[in-house]
Structure 1
């Protein structure tokens, strides 16, 4: 569990709840912090209660002034799940109804055009040497291309170690990713060639446990550092950025969209290929992958009829999904 120490009337139940979540496969790294704040609230307002009332739950779950709808819903969802756990062990509790708080407008991924991708990667190739981060100019052109060419999550790429990258076969070992999922990810030949050239310059004498994309002090690159460089490349490439995107994660969306577009134009059998894509991306459910059928149809209207004609039993389901595939 995290370093959070619960002190309130449900401290044992919170500890047991976190242990249960992790036992069934969830990483549950950020949620304990939310429960700790809820625990502090209970200590201050309901220190001796043996039940969780609607007043207690909605009092803490109420939206704060500067909180985004997405963060508000995420925070409330943790308390809702905890309340459901309490109910399962016969504790008297009021359970926050599903969709009790509006989630606000859903984020629409930015799908880069071929011209935007060309301009963006041209700027990464211009990245200069920096004495504070001596490998930055070598990492950036490879790192962002890896996200796009293999559809990796940012965390999966930045936490790769030398031993996880098989440059002979061109296969990545993505270990203990989201939901403790591990998988093998073959790279395109062009990406494998780039990775080999990069490794010759950075990892000629590296130990196997070293991070493949090292930051200062042999640590992995931070999310903040990646995003800072990402924003700079976007600006120099003339790609507009707002508070809503584009995001680094949109390279993963672009990978899926362009792959599905290619398969659809080739009249490939997506009912065979979608399960393969699901495994390649590390999705847990089919709906996470099928999400991209709807997104592909929306981004490329010229192939919408082809997709809907052959996969009408899949695509309409996506209209009921209110989450973004990860």
Structure 2
């Protein structure tokens, strides 16, 4: 299956494409950044940007906080447009760089919920008794395993869903977790729940 290549529309299309290529050339997947830049490209085209520059007004319009948006999501847009601006300046174009002191990222504001033993027991009981479904005939088998995998190995849901049979070594009691966050690879232990 061929991967769809997005065609940017604004006057900044070649610069945006070049920036994405540069990020990927140095090892970043840059999928989220690429998606954000598609949205920014649409904004630039809709606003009628007609010069090869990144004006302050457009950057401020792009980075303003949206209704019901988290600070983290806004910071993602700010970081992406700041990177594009720095790239453009390196190439000799005029670009407004959103000030770094204007944002603060509260990385540790999230407070995790710790399940009690009773809650965990009930969660696993519900998974174990999940009814068979004609729509998804293996769901009653997958859910108990998936929840135990998440709980016992402490892996992310995206990592669990990407696992292949070849990644599981029951003799060694390990999982090979490939293509995880930041493109890293690591081993996980399955002895906790097998």
TM tier, smaller: 0.7 to 0.9
Check whether the contact 1:86–1:92 (CA below 8 A) recurs between aligned residues.
yes
Aligned with 1:15 (options 14, 17, 23):
17
Provide the alpha-carbon RMSD of the alignment.
Answer: 2.3
Q: CA deviation at 1:50?
A: 2.2
Structure 2 Cα separation of the partners of residues 76 and 186 of structure 1: 38
Unpaired segments ≥5 residues, structure 1:
194-326
Matched residue count: 191
Structure 2 Cα separation of the partners of residues 96 and 148 of structure 1: 41
Check whether the contact 1:129–1:136 (CA below 8 A) recurs between aligned residues.
yes
Structure 2 Cα separation of the partners of residues 37 and 52 of structure 1: 15
Over 3 Å counting, the alpha-carbon distance change for 1:100 and 1:141 in structure 2 is: same
Find the counterpart in structure 1 of residue 63 from structure 2: 61
Check whether the contact 2:177–2:187 (CA below 8 A) recurs between aligned residues.
yes
Find the counterpart in structure 2 of residue 175 from structure 1: 178
Q: CA deviation at 1:45?
A: 2.2
Unpaired segments ≥5 residues, structure 2:
none
Check whether the contact 1:25–1:179 (CA below 8 A) recurs between aligned residues.
no
| Larger RCO (alpha carbons 8 Å, 6+ apart) | 1
Aligned with 1:164 (options 131, 147, 167):
167
What does residue range 14-53 of structure 1 map to in structure 2 within 5 Å? 14-53=16-55
Which structure dedicates a bigger proportion of its chain to helix?
Answer: 1
1:73 aligned counterpart, secondary structure: helix
TM-score, scaled to structure 2: 0.86
Structure 2 Cα separation of the partners of residues 80 and 126 of structure 1: 50
